[in-house]
Amino acid sequence: MQQAQQREVGERISWARALVFGVGFFFIAALLIGQLPSFINSEMTASSLIGMEQGLLALAFVCLGGFLIIQAIVMLFDPKPVVSPYIFVGLGVILAILGTVLIFWAVLTGNQTVPSATTSVGSMLGGRFLWFPEGSVDLVALSATMVFVGVAWAFYGFLALGEQTNPDRRDLGSTPTVRTMLVIGTVLLIAFTLLFSFVSPDGLAQIIDPACPTAITASCGVTTGLFWINTIYNLILVVAILCTIGAFALRLHYLMRPTRKNTMNVLYAVGANLAPIGVICIVAWFVLYPFVGWLHTVPGLGSFFTVCARKSAIPQSCAFSQEGGNLIGSVITTTTFGLLMAAVWAWKTKRNLVVIGGVTAVVLLALATLLTHVEYDPSDPYQATIALMLCGGALILATVWTNVARREFAVIGEKPLGCLGMWLLVGTSLFIYIAAFALFSMPGFRDTETNIPFSPGSIIGSKSQLDALVVAIIMGGLAAIQFYFLVRNRYRV
C-alpha cells in the first residue's frame, strides 16, 4: 500500500486511461459550466418561478441524499465502525419501500406536485401554503431520492455484513458481477434508445388506446394510453439505471477497500461539502418568493432585476429579469470553473481526492439531471424519459471511470506516442466531442438548445427527425474504433 501511494504522484499513465479521465472531466465541465447555469437562468427568467422552486428542491434532494449515502459508507466501513450494518439494511429497505409507494401514489392519483389548486393553509402573499404557489414541491423527485438512498443504504449494509466474516480487503477489480450489471445496463440503454427513436410513445399510444391516447380528460383520467406507454418505457430505463448504479457502487467499494485509511477521509470531505450546498438550496427555495417581493420594492434594483406581470399579484406573478438570470448564472459558472481548475492543479498531489470527487460528481450530476426533469410537462411529454436516458449514460461513464482508476498505477507500455498515436488521440477526442454534441442535442428540455434536430417516431409516430441519433452513432462508433487501437498500442504519457 505504501509503495502504491508513493507511485501515485510520480508514475505516468497510458494515454488511453488519460483519455477516459479527460472524457469524465469534459462531461463534468459540460454540465457544471454549461448546463447547470443554463438551467438556473432558464428557470429564473421563466414566466413563473414554480420551476425554479422545483429545481432548487431537486438539487437539495440530490446533495442531501448524496450526503446521507456517503455518511453511511463512512460509518459502515470506518476502521472502527460505529453503527451496526443491520440498522442501515433495515432503514434502507423501509425507506426504499416508502419511496416506491409514494411514487405510484403520486403518479396514479395525479398528485405529483403540492400544494394543489384547492389548498389554502396559512396563505400569504398570494400563495396556497404560506407563500408557496401551486406545484412548488415535486413529490416524485422526493420519493425517487428516498428510493436511491434506501437502496444504497441496504446495498452497503449487506456489503458490510459480508466483510464482518471475510477478512479479504483486496481490490478485486471488475468482477463478473460488476461486468454483468454494467453490460445489462448498457445493452438496455442502447436498445431502448433505438426503440424510443423508432417508436415514439405518443404514436404507440394512438394505436393502443385510440379513445384516450394522450390528453388527460374527465372521462379518461390520468391513465391514458400515453401514461401506460411512458410507464413501461420508464420502467425499462429504471432497470438500466439500477444495474449501472449498482455496478458503479460495487466497483467504487472495491476501489477504496485496500486504501481506506487514505480514501475514507477524502470521501467524507466530499460528503461534508454536499450538505451545506443542499441546505443553501432549501433556504433559497423557502425564501425565494418573499425575497422577490422585497427586491421588487427596492428603488432602482427592483425594476432592473425583477419583472412582474401584474401589480396586484406580487410576488406570485414575478420572475427575474434577464439581467438577474445572467448575474446568478455568471456566479455559478465562475464557481464551478474555479473548482475544475482546482482539480487540475490537485491532480498530481491529491489524486485520490480528484478521482473520488470526480466520479461522485458524475453520479450526482446524473441524478440531478433526472430529478430536475421528472415532472410531466404536456409541452414536452418525453422529458422524464430522456432524463432517464441521460442519467443512465452518465452512470455508465462513472462506472468506466472507476474501472480504470486503480489500474492507472499498473505498469504500462514504453511505446512513445509518435505521429500515429497523436492522430489516434486527437481523432478519438474529436469524435467523442461530436458524439457528445449530438447526444446533448437529443433532450428537448426548455433549458437546452437543440443544436442537431431530434424527434422520435421513425416507424410509429407523428413525426421523426433522427439527425442527432445518427450523428451520435456514427461518431461514437468511429471513436470506439480509434480508442481500441489507442488501448492496444499502450502509448505512455
DSSP string computed for 337-395: HHHHHHHHHHTTT-HHHHHHHHHHHHHHHHHHHHHTT-S-BTTBTTHHHHHHHHHHHHH
What are the b/e assignments for 356-369, b being 16+ CB within 10 Å? bbbbbbbbbbbbbb
Name the phi and psi angles at 443, rounded to 5: -65, 140
Name the phi and psi angles at 166, rounded to 5: -125, 115
CB-CB contact of 137 with 54 (8 Å)? yes
- Residue 432, burial from CB neighbour count under 10 angstroms (0-12, 13-18, 19+): buried
Q: Total structural domains in the chain?
A: 1
122's torsion region: left (phi>0), alpha (psi -120 to 50) or beta?
left
DSSP letter, residue 257: G
DSSP string computed for 14-72: BHHHHHHHHHHHHHHHIIIIIIHHHHHHHHHTSS-SHHHHHHHHHHHHHHHHHHHHHHH
- Please give the pLDDT value at position 357: 86
Rounded to whole angstroms, the Cα distance separating 271 from 150 reads: 17
- Please give the pLDDT value at position 411: 42
Direct distance between the N- and C-terminal alpha carbons of the chain, in angstroms, rounded to an integer: 24
Look up the pTM and report it.
0.87
- Please give the pLDDT value at position 3: 43
C-alpha cell at 233: 418505457
Rounded to whole angstroms, the Cα distance separating 434 from 48 reads: 35
C-alpha cell at 481: 474504433
Domain that holds residue 188: 2-489
CB-CB contact of 202 with 379 (8 Å)? no
Rounded to whole angstroms, the Cα distance separating 156 from 478 reads: 38
Ranges in the chain, pLDDT < 70: 1-12, 213-222, 376-380, 405-414, 443-450, 462-463
3-state secondary structure of 318: strand
Name the phi and psi angles at 113, rounded to 5: -120, 150
Rounded to whole angstroms, the Cα distance separating 12 from 153 reads: 36
Name the phi and psi angles at 461, rounded to 5: 155, 165
Rounded to whole angstroms, the Cα distance separating 306 from 310 reads: 12
What are the CB-based long-range contacts (under 8 Å, 24+) for 381-385? 381/201, 381/202, 381/214, 381/226, 381/230, 382/196, 382/200, 382/201, 382/444, 382/456, 383/443, 383/444, 383/445, 384/230, 384/234, 385/196, 385/201, 385/230, 385/233, 385/234, 385/237
What are the CB-based long-range contacts (under 8 Å, 24+) for 166-169? 169/257, 169/258, 169/260
Length of the chain: 493
Distances (CA, A) of 470 to 23, 402, 448, 465, 475: 21, 29, 19, 10, 8
Rounded to whole angstroms, the Cα distance separating 385 from 396 reads: 17
Rounded to whole angstroms, the Cα distance separating 18 from 347 reads: 12
- Residue 165, burial from CB neighbour count under 10 angstroms (0-12, 13-18, 19+): exposed
